[in-house]
Amino acid sequence: MLRPTVGELLEGVRVQLAAQVLPSVPAGAEARQLKAALHVLEMVAETWDREHTRLEADNADIDRTIEAFCSQTGRVREPTDHRAAAAKNRFPGVRDEQLRRLMARNQSLQEELEALQQRRRRHPDADPGADQLLLELHIRTTARSEGRNDSG
């Protein structure tokens, strides 16, 4: 294992920028941009090593939610060719093939979920329980993205 880790490097850069550069930047747009960049650095430093696990959990969770949504609303789930989605989606800067596959599947599942939600919006009274499924999914995926929960 190489030290410092990616997370340690990112956190070191963030700390130095916050301590040495931010105080010298006058208030205004530049300072706001720097603060936003520092926040991004902090987020990535805290979560970089959990991306595979988070995406696996998100994918499984979204897949289960779509199944439950279809079951509750009586919809038939249309087959989705996740390989075709992976082929059409490119992720610049992502060199890890497993991560690229996870990202493509996630995007494909997100598109499938969005299509279900669009149909749901056209018929909002069809099944109020479906809204609860979607809200719970949102809460779980948000918690995982913030590092509060890496499970499905």
Q: For 95, which DSSP code?
A: -
pTM listed for this prediction: 0.75
Does the structure show a pLDDT above 80 at 2? yes
Does the structure show a pLDDT above 70 at 85? no
Q: Taking CA 100 as the corner, what is the angle to CA 86 and CA 67, rounded to the nearest 5 degrees?
A: 60
Does residue 4 have a cis peptide bond before it, meaning omega lies within 30 degrees of 0? yes
Structure tokens belonging to residue 3: 């030290």
List Cα–Cα distances, 76 to 22, 64, 83, 90, in angstroms.
54, 14, 21, 29
pLDDT at position 18 is 97
Q: What is the dihedral of CA 78, 92, 87, 118, to 10 degrees?
A: 20
pLDDT tens-digit series, residues 110-135:
988 998 888 878 876 767 778 889 89
